[in-house]
Amino acid sequence: MTLENKKVVLGITGGIAAYKCPEIVRRLKDLNCDVRVVMTSGAKEFITPLTLQAVSGNPVSDSLLDPAAEASMGHIELAKWADLVVIAPATADVIAKINAGMANDLLTTICLATDAPIAIAPAMNQQMYAAKTTQRNLRSLQEMGMKIWGPASGEQACGDIGKGRLLEPMQIVELIQAHFTPKSLNLNILITAGPTREAIDPVRYISNHSSGKMGFAIAQAAEQLGANVTLISGPVSLETPHNTKRLDVISASDMHEQAMAQAPSHDVFIACLLYTSPSPRD
């Protein structure tokens, strides 16, 4: 879907993942979305306002105390203008400030003054993300109705490996699209995906080449249309679609057991099967 006539405020905070933001803005502009960028002072240490102005086609806002902007109450104007506020990357510091209701810079003031939905895309060191304080803040924001997008897992700029990476630009764009997609599927959907492994002995097993991609794509599409999705997955290295309940299994009997247990509480069951093309002799 296009995002024509949709207005998004993208808040950028001081994290290395800020380098991904021009791509987010560019992809949104490709979908005809109107994007206004708000940067914290920390964000400007990683990427320049001029770069974001060039890709967005709009002036970048970065100061709560800008006399020219405040002549027209710029922070209130942006708060009222937005259909959606997305903070990406969202550092632990800004997450804590928003949770505390602080308004000591332009971005946190907009968050306090807007009645538009707010989406938080965390990005930080894996230990900072796992800290009890950060997790408490994120739970609190979620309870207030804010969306939490990510984070992803993997290698980080500091060399650590774990959960805390900013989602990729297209993942964030797809989540923005999903936010604006009419929710027409008020259903509970159960999906199976991926291969199974049948053990021969403690070392060897028989499996197949199923990637699970089709089942995961169906799960993502169903979730974006408003369905409550449960995904029963064999061993695959795929990111779980946002807001999808995932149940991991190994063997065919495990998958069958989970499918039979879950099916009665779902309206629709979709079984994704591996299909092998017949050989010319068949």
**What one-letter code names the amino acid at 24?**
I
Q: How much of the chain exceeds pLDDT 70, in percent? A: 92
Judge if 56 and 145 occupy the same domain: yes
Judge if 104 and 73 occupy the same domain: yes
Dist. CA 53–CA 38, nearest whole Å = 10
Q: Is residue 282 part of a domain?
A: no
The pLDDT value given to residue 276: 52
Asked if the model's pLDDT at residue 66 lies above 70, the reply is no
What CATH number is given to the structural domain containing 20? 3.40.50.1950
In the Cβ-directed half-sphere of 170, how many Cα atoms lie within 13 Å?
0
Q: What is the mean pLDDT of residues 191-220?
A: 91
What is the greatest pairwise CA distance in the chain?
Answer: 79
pTM: 0.72
Last residue of a domain, one of 161, 180, 199: 180
Q: Which two tokens stand for residue 81?
A: 């203008």
One of 21, 33, 111, 158 is an active-site residue; which one?
A: 158
Asked if the model's pLDDT at residue 82 lies above 60, the reply is yes
Dist. CA 74–CA 79, nearest whole Å = 9
Give me the torsion for CA of 135, 87, 237, 262, rounded to 10°: 70
Judge if 144 and 50 occupy the same domain: yes
- Which residues contact residue 152 at a Cβ distance below 8 angstroms, ignoring those fewer than 6 apart? 163, 165, 166, 167, 168, 171, 239
Catalytic residue status for 111: no
The pLDDT value given to residue 267: 93
Helix, strand, coil abundance in the chain, percent, nearest 5: 40, 20, 40
Judge if 258 and 226 occupy the same domain: yes
Q: Which residue has the higher pLDDT, 241 or 92?
A: 92
Judge if 45 and 171 occupy the same domain: yes
Asked if the model's pLDDT at residue 110 lies above 70, the reply is yes
The count of domains in the chain is 2
The pLDDT value given to residue 208: 87
The pLDDT value given to residue 109: 92
Judge if 80 and 159 occupy the same domain: yes
The pLDDT value given to residue 220: 85
Judge if 60 and 169 occupy the same domain: yes
- Could you tell me the end-to-end alpha-carbon distance of the chain, in angstroms, rounded to an integer? 42
**Residue among 15, 44, 10, 13 at smallest CA distance from 29:** 10
Q: Which of 75-79, 190-194, 242-246 has the highest mean pLDDT?
A: 190-194
Judge if 164 and 198 occupy the same domain: no
Judge if 264 and 147 occupy the same domain: no
Q: Is residue 50 part of a domain?
A: yes
Dist. CA 234–CA 207, nearest whole Å = 10
Distance of CA 79 to the CA centre of its chain: 22
Last residue of a domain, one of 153, 180, 207: 180
Is there a contact between 78 and 53 (Cβ–Cβ < 8 Å)? no
The pLDDT value given to residue 7: 94
Judge if 193 and 169 occupy the same domain: no
Q: Which residue has the higher pLDDT, 226 or 280?
A: 226
Q: Is residue 278 part of a domain?
A: no
| Residue count (the chain) | 282
The two beta strands, 198-199 and 205-206, are: antiparallel
Q: What is the mean pLDDT of residues 46-50?
A: 93
Judge if 142 and 218 occupy the same domain: no
Q: Which residue has the higher pLDDT, 131 or 160?
A: 131
pLDDT band at 39 (very low <50, low <70, confident <90, very high): very high
pLDDT band at 224 (very low <50, low <70, confident <90, very high): confident
What CATH number is given to the structural domain containing 233? 3.40.50.10300
pLDDT band at 282 (very low <50, low <70, confident <90, very high): very low
The pLDDT value given to residue 71: 47
Last residue of a domain, one of 133, 150, 180: 180
Asked if the model's pLDDT at residue 53 lies above 60, the reply is yes
Q: What is the mean pLDDT of residues 126-153?
A: 92
Q: How much of the chain exceeds pLDDT 90, in percent? A: 65
Judge if 223 and 250 occupy the same domain: yes
Q: Is residue 159 part of a domain?
A: yes
Domain extent at residue 63: 7-180
